[in-house]
Structure 1
Amino acid sequence: MSIGLGIFLLVVGAILVWALDITVTGVDLQLVGYILLAAGALVTVLGIVLMTRRRNSVSTTRTIADPANGEQVTRRENSIDDL
């Protein structure tokens, strides 16, 4: 979702900067467009970084013999890297 939001902000910012030739009293639309472009780039990069961090996981498997009856016990731990 954050990547989609970032791309949307980039598109809206680009439209305001390069495609529109409208003047609004008290608002500089080009400046707003540049701000949206910067915000869109930041949100897109953060979305990509967070998405790749979520995919990193650590899986540990341990097999030990139970001393009481000699039975093999397997323990699995899965953890996802937290921020």
Structure 2
Amino acid sequence: MEDVMGYGGAVGLIVVGLILSLAVSEEQVGPVNLGTVGWILTLAGVGLLILSLVQQNTRRRQSTVATTTDAQGRQATTQRTVEADPPPPAV
């Protein structure tokens, strides 16, 4: 899963959500309650920010298993696990 919006999108959602929920004086626009929409956007932004942080800070683990058989029919299994840091974010 690629980090499409990143930190900026998450912070943007939080800012817009808080503006709608705390700074707009007209709460009701038709059937839509702007305070509720603002809190929903704020929670979505916080969730996206947490997911972005978790995804950026996880290490990649790759595991390889190889089975070899010798002339007498004996088998040996070798497992190799490599942990690597994720690639740096695109600039």
Same fold (TM over 0.5): yes
Query: Does 1:18 find its partner at 2:31?
Result: no
Matches of residues 1-83 of structure 1 in structure 2 within 5 Å?
1-22=5-26, 23-53=28-58, 56-57=59-60, 80=84
Structure 1's consecutive aligned runs of 4 or more residues displaced over 6 angstroms after TM superposition are none
Q: How many equivalent residue pairs?
A: 62
Residue identity (%)? 34
The structure where strand makes up a greater share of residues is 2
Q: Which has the higher contact order (CA 8 A, sep 6+)?
A: 1
For 1:57 and 1:31, the matched residues in 2 are separated by 38
Matched to 1:2, the amino acid is G
The structure where helix makes up a greater share of residues is 1
